[in-house]
Amino acid sequence: MREPRFFRWTDYDRARLPNRFLADLDESIDGPDDWVPLTGYSIGYPGWGLLYYAVPCSLDPAEFNLVVETGTNFGSSSIVMAQAIRDSGVRGELRTVEIDSSCADRAAEHLEKSGVGDLVTQFRGNSLERLPEMIGTNEPIRCVFLDGNHEHDHVLEEFSLVLPHLAPGAPVLFDNTYRIAEPGEDPRVHGALQTIVSRFGGNLVNFPFCSWFTPGIAVWQRDPFPASDGGAPVAERTRRRWSRLGLRK
């Protein structure tokens, strides 16, 4: 493996974080020796900002909104996404899965203290086994963050499980996109993204200078301009729904 890079900020105004509990956890952190015991292997800031805004920008104001995460870890990113659901004012829920029971326990504690735990349903176990239960059969997924096992085949299988359930235009976010593998090694997330684009098409944007060990967050969309239904384009339908709810003139 190549030497990992670090693009998690430590010197920034914690008031920029959307959740006070998370800001307090991240206070006075100087490096991995500080943040791992407190916030785990989370993407950190500014990645939290990217994740926070990706969620409300993906939610439908007139529908129930399902957001899915793999790799809960200590719950830091879960808090960010749940806070985004709360701040958006729409109906929604985050469902997240973690294979490590000790991490899941820590996440449960953090979610309770954060004030957004009521918007989160935790699952424990292998994401490939639990995702079908998490997704269900009725609600389309509005936003996904795949940040569990980072091996190529695992990432690809997680993606294949959520793909049929994505709402039109729903983004799928991936962490650790930097090309860390040497020739002959598992290509990990970087290689999985190449396979996804080759196999499924879609649009991919990579943000290289955020997160850490390894850095990079990518956003994939099947179609940024989904086909219309009901006689009106998606953007127009969304505008009308906001208007009906009294949220936009």
- Distance, in Å, from the CA atom of 189 to the CA atom of 131, rounded to the nearest integer, reads 19
pLDDT in tens, the chain (249 residues): 888 788 999 999 999 999 999 999 999 899 999 999 999 999 999 999 999 999 999 999 999 999 999 999 999 999 999 999 999 999 999 999 999 999 999 999 999 999 999 999 999 999 999 999 999 877 899 999 999 999 999 999 999 999 999 999 999 999 999 998 778 888 999 999 999 999 999 999 999 999 998 999 999 999 888 765 444 444 454 455 455 545 443
- Return the CATH number of 6-244, one of 3.40.50.150, 1.20.120.160, 3.20.20.70, 3.90.1200.10: 3.40.50.150
pLDDT of residue 234: 46
Helices 152-162 and 188-200 pack at an angle, to 10 degrees, of 40
- Kindly tell me the sign of the dihedral angle through the C-alpha atoms of 101, 105, 106, 112: positive
- Kindly tell me the sign of the dihedral angle through the C-alpha atoms of 37, 41, 46, 51: negative
- Residue 68: its H or E element: strand 65-70
- At 163, give phi and psi (nearest 5°): -50, -50
pLDDT of residue 27: 94
Closest-CA residue to 208 (of 223, 200, 219)? 219
Helices 76-88 and 47-54 pack at an angle, to 10 degrees, of 40
Q: What is the DSSP letter of 137?
A: S
CB 16, CB 105: distance < 8 Å: no
pLDDT of residue 139: 84
Question: Cα 46–50–54 angle (5° rounding)?
Answer: 165
Question: Where are the domains positioned within the chain?
Answer: 6-244
pLDDT of residue 4: 75
Place of tokens 């239960």: 133
pLDDT of residue 236: 52
Question: pTM of the prediction?
Answer: 0.89
Distance of CA 112 to the CA centre of its chain: 19
pLDDT of residue 229: 46
